[in-house]
Amino acid sequence: MASTSCEHVPDPIEALGRRLAAEQYFADEGLLTAAHLSLTLGRPLLLEGEPGVGKTEIAKVLARVHDRELIRLQCYEGLDAAQALYEWDHPKQLLAIRTCEAENRPVGELYDESFLMERPLLRALRVPCVLLIDEIDRADSEFEAFLLEFLSDFQITIPELGTIAAAERPIVIMTSNRTRELHDALKRRCLYHWIAFPDSSREKRIIESRVPGLPEDAAKTLVAAVAGVRDLDLIKPPGIAESIEWGQAAKVLLHEGADWPSALKRSLGLLVKEQEDTETVLAHAEGLGL
Ligand SMILES: Nc1ncnc2c1ncn2[C@@H]1O[C@H](COP(=O)(O)OP(=O)(O)O)[C@@H](O)[C@H]1O
Ligand SMILES: [Mg+2]
């Protein structure tokens, strides 16, 4: 165990850490505790943090670990309740009407299951799942109010069909990149955790796991460099995904005979993706060990 091996960490939390690590997800004690409590108390887990720190990924991994379906509601500006819950298939209803008219039959029921298009939140009430409500800060605040209601009752009423309640409560993970503040009421429903960038030992474990075959020295330089790069005042500091991709690219160049650390310097385009940021990093190359 990386940062979860401290003696005071209770067993179930350590066990969760091991199960996530087996899926190549390495969490620190704070995140593991938050996830454990959210699972045990049945409260939604609200995760905030910079892009690329593993907010979305932990929902995917938890779904695998719990052998549940992952249902993802990707939020965006203008997302409304209908798009999140269900919609009636109007073209199909029209076709049914036309067909009945053409065949001179009475038009049957148009608002039953066969015309219902299930969207993520409705599906989440019907199958055991991990419900990922991703990037909630992109949705409008009216949608947040609606979501609050959904998360309080875990049931919805479809006027034509009646009330549908969750057979089994979904495990709910909500993420936000904090482009705006969320409502207090929504936060109150959730267990909150801020995911920070990983410390060097955790990032090294991630790199070792996700870039197998990268020499130890290279991994060390990379991890130290990434930490240094994140301390620079960049437009877009690199996330864990960028750090992994940087490692993969450097590994390719190394295998093709490139020197170290020039392999890292040459594959910088996978770590930072703004020209200004590249210039800043290059200006600090020596201090970063590149
Ligand atoms: N704790 C972690 N352990 C291993 N890999 C991670 C971890 N956090 C992030 N990653 C890697 O970084 C990628 C980006 O993470 P993601 O969850 O999409 O970031 P976010 O949703 O916070 O923007 C993931 O696909 C995964 O490959
Ligand atoms: Mg994400």
Give pLDDT tens digits for 111-129: 999 999 999 999 999 999 9
Distance (angstroms) between ligand 1 centre and the Cα of 101 equals 54
List of the chain residues with pLDDT < 50: 1-4
HSE-up (13 A, CA, CB side) for residue 41: 12
What is the position in ligand 1's atom list of the atom closest to the CA of 58? Answer: 17
Query: Residue 61: helix, strand or coil by DSSP?
Result: helix
Please give the backbone phi and psi of residue 115, each rounded to the nearest 5 degrees, phi first.
Answer: -105, 5
What is the position in ligand 1's atom list of the atom closest to the CA of 241? Answer: 12
> What is the pLDDT at residue 262?
87
Separation of alpha carbons 60 and 69, rounded Å: 9
Which of 112-146 are b and which e, b meaning 16 or more Cβ less than 10 Å from the residue's Cβ? eeebbeebbbbbbbeeebbbbbbbbbbbeeebbeb
Distance (angstroms) between ligand 2 centre and the Cα of 55 equals 6
Cβ 23 under 6 angstroms from ligand 1: no
Cβ 56 under 6 angstroms from ligand 1: yes
> What is the pLDDT at residue 260?
79
Percent of the chain's residues with pLDDT above 90: 88
Q: ∠46-48-52 over CA atoms, to 5°?
A: 125
Contact of 254 with 211, CB cutoff 8 Å? no
Residue nearest to atom 8 of ligand 1 (CA): 54
Cβ 51 under 6 angstroms from ligand 1: yes
Residue nearest to atom 16 of ligand 1 (CA): 54
Least Cα distance to 59 among 143, 134, 138 occurs for 134
Separation of alpha carbons 121 and 170, rounded Å: 10
> What is the pLDDT at residue 2?
47
Q: What is the per-residue pLDDT across 255-278, written as a single tens digit (0 to 9) for each?
A: 998 887 788 889 999 999 999 999
Cβ 74 under 6 angstroms from ligand 1: no
- Greatest Cα pair distance, the chain, in angstroms, is 82
> What is the pLDDT at residue 9?
65
Identify which of 57, 64, 75, 245 to mutate to test ligand 1's pocket (most ligand atoms within 8 A of the CB): 57
Separation of alpha carbons 145 and 121, rounded Å: 15
Distance (angstroms) between ligand 2 centre and the Cα of 131 equals 14
What is the position in ligand 1's atom list of the atom closest to the CA of 31? Answer: 1
Distance (angstroms) between ligand 1 centre and the Cα of 142 equals 29
- Those residues whose C-beta lies under 8 Å from the C-beta of residue 191, and which sit 6 or more positions away, are 34, 37, 38, 41, 43, 44, 45, 46
Query: Residue 46: helix, strand or coil by DSSP?
Result: strand
What is the position in ligand 1's atom list of the atom closest to the CA of 24? Answer: 4
Cβ 150 under 6 angstroms from ligand 1: no
In DSSP terms, which residues pair with 70 in a beta bridge? 130
Query: Residue 197: helix, strand or coil by DSSP?
Result: coil
Cβ 206 under 6 angstroms from ligand 1: yes
Cβ 60 under 6 angstroms from ligand 1: no
Give the total residue count for the chain: 290
